[in-house]
Amino acid sequence: MDEQTEEFGMAYLDSCDRVTLLLIHGFPLSSAMWELQIEDLGDMVRVVAPDLRGHGRSAASPPPYDVATLADDCADLLDYLAVPGPVIVGGLSMGGYVAFEFYRRYPERVAGLILAATRAGADTPEGQAGRDKMAALAQEEGVEAVAGAMLPKLLAPATYEEQEDVVEFVQEMMEETALDGVLGALAAMKNRPDSTPTLAQIGVPTLIIHGAEDQLIPLAEAQAMHQAIPGSRLVVIDDAGHMPNLEQPDDFSDAVADFLEQFLDDE
């Protein structure tokens, strides 16, 4: 089912009326990255997967964006859908940054967190310079150039060499992202707050998932979050890079399904 909110035309995928799992995609991707998880988990929970502004089929407002705006967009979508009660919020990479902000802004709306291929810390000065460099590349050579630069780093080397369908799927998602969406999201990530102080304050069940071969965010970042978030679980997925839900979808979905069981027991 595909609908749009009125304010800026936010597209999304929505599976059914059950306990709700909100899945927030990474940069510069779209809700399409979650299609396998919707298929695998749709019998357990209602999965709502928005296209963040400027990504997928959602409209692009002029950049820059910030993570507060992106989190508010997700909250507005839940309001539009009249989702009752708190939800499980999951995000991958940039989606994890948005999930942290969503938790800070709407703690009463969060029943649990899933943090995949993400980190708590803010960008370093070197990281911020890298965002600026990528923004310049996008403006000078287009979104396709950004996709070409990022793609080999998003996937484990074996995935990139051997899973041609995954490579093509990820490339297509990236190249469909609007230029304003790329520029807006780069600004949001560059200027996002440090979520490290938030970790010890997280009081809901939390699952951390990380690819063992992530080239963009070291596994040590996930291990540090696991140590800092009380009672959290850490699942490391072998033979996966920065896109574990696509590279090893069965292992990823199994980890999420195991985590979700505790919420179904409370129904």
* pLDDT at residue 4, as a whole number: 39
Q: Are 224 and 232 in contact (CB under 8 A)?
A: no
SS3 90: strand
pLDDT above 90 (res 8): no
What is the residue extent of each domain of the chain?
Answer: 12-264
pLDDT above 50 (res 1): no
CA gyration radius for the chain? Answer: 17
Q: Are 224 and 138 in contact (CB under 8 A)?
A: no
**Mind listing the pLDDT tens digit for each residue in 223-248?**
999 999 999 999 999 999 999 999 99
* pLDDT at residue 215, as a whole number: 97
Average pLDDT rounded to a whole number, residues 38-47:
94
Task: Look up the CATH superfamily of 12-264.
Answer: Alpha/Beta hydrolase fold, catalytic domain (3.40.50.1820)
Lowest mean pLDDT across 11-15, 156-160, 207-211: 11-15
User: Alpha helix locations (H) across the chain?
Assistant: 35-41, 67-80, 94-105, 125-141, 143-154, 157-162, 164-175, 179-190, 196-199, 219-228, 244-247, 249-264
**Mind listing the pLDDT tens digit for each residue in 206-227?**
999 999 999 999 999 999 999 9
CB atoms within 10 A of CB 32: 19
Mean of the per-residue pLDDT values of the chain: 94
**Mind listing the pLDDT tens digit for each residue in 105-146?**
999 999 999 999 999 999 999 999 999 999 999 999 999 999
Q: DSSP letters along 112-126, please? A: EEEEES--SSPPPHH
* Crossing angle of helices 125-141 and 143-154, rounded to 10°: 130
pLDDT above 90 (res 17): no
Read off the amino acid at residue 139: Q
* pLDDT at residue 265, as a whole number: 64
pLDDT above 70 (res 12): no
Cα gap 163→77, rounded to integer Å: 34
| Tokens describing residue 223 | 């291990």
Distance of CA 176 to the CA centre of its chain: 17
Lowest mean pLDDT across 15-29, 75-89, 113-127, 156-170: 15-29
| pTM exceeding 0.85 | yes
